Amino acid sequence: MIFEAFLNNIDLFKKAELGGLESQFRLAPKMRLQYNAEKIAASSPKKAAVLALFYPNEHNETCFLLTQRASYKGTHSAQISFPGGKIEGSDINLQATAIRETFEEVGVTANQIKIIREITDVYIPPSNFLATPFLAYSETKPTFKINHEVDHTFDVKLSDLLDDNNITSINITTSYAKNIDVPCFKLNDYIVWGATAMMLNEIKELLKIVS
């Protein structure tokens, strides 16, 4: 999709009905399906926010940003994700959290970011976070400046996200489960699974209404 087409449909993206949990659960590991709203609330999850940022590449194709987290001794080491993190006392709301974290992690300033809408929260059991994703765009491709939390960034073409052939499954071992089959996206030869894949599937189904 050329970027002008993406921009021309922003009002439609804002008004369209979200797929919600039904959409997200199509790319959810089986253990995520055990959590309903009541069980999530009982876990008293910490609040966080992430940003799905779209922009044009050098060929004027619509792309979005993903990061590979730095390696560390923790639950989400080296995983593929959107920029984002937990809410802090200085944040007036979760949208502010997403924008602040994006600046801290990849150097995109607030004045470059235009929020389209909030999408459905995703519960992340291993770290007990409830993450609120925000769909946003920048009119030009930002210059990314990563901090210590990020190993590197990469662009993914929206056309690749919309291509059903890029959905597959893998068998993985995590810090909390062994030899489990999980649905995932394969994007730019990266495997994207878990919470990020769940968010991406809701975004995919929202944006696919104009493809």
pLDDT in tens, 188-200: 999 999 999 999 9
Query: Does the structure show a pLDDT above 60 at 57?
Result: yes
Query: Does the structure show a pLDDT above 80 at 43?
Result: no
C-beta neighbour count of 26 within 10 angstroms: 16
Burial of 69 (0-12, 13-18, 19+ CB in 10 A): middle
Q: How confident is the model at residue 13 (pLDDT cuts 50, 70, 90)?
A: very high
Task: Quote the pLDDT of residue 210.
Answer: 73
Query: Does the structure show a pLDDT above 80 at 41?
Result: no
Query: Does the structure show a pLDDT above 90 at 155?
Result: yes
Q: Which of the pair, 187 or 211, is modelled with greater confidence?
A: 187
DSSP secondary structure of 90-112: T-SSHHHHHHHHHHHHH---GGG
Degrees, nearest 5: CA angle 77-81-86? 80
**What is the Cα 164 distance to its own chain's centre?**
18
Query: Does the structure show a pLDDT above 90 at 70?
Result: no
Its pTM stands at 0.91
Task: Quote the pLDDT of residue 40.
Answer: 72
Contact 137, 102 (CB under 8 A): no
Task: Quote the pLDDT of residue 204.
Answer: 97
Q: Which of 44-48, 57-61, 86-90, 113-117 has the lowest mean pLDDT?
A: 44-48
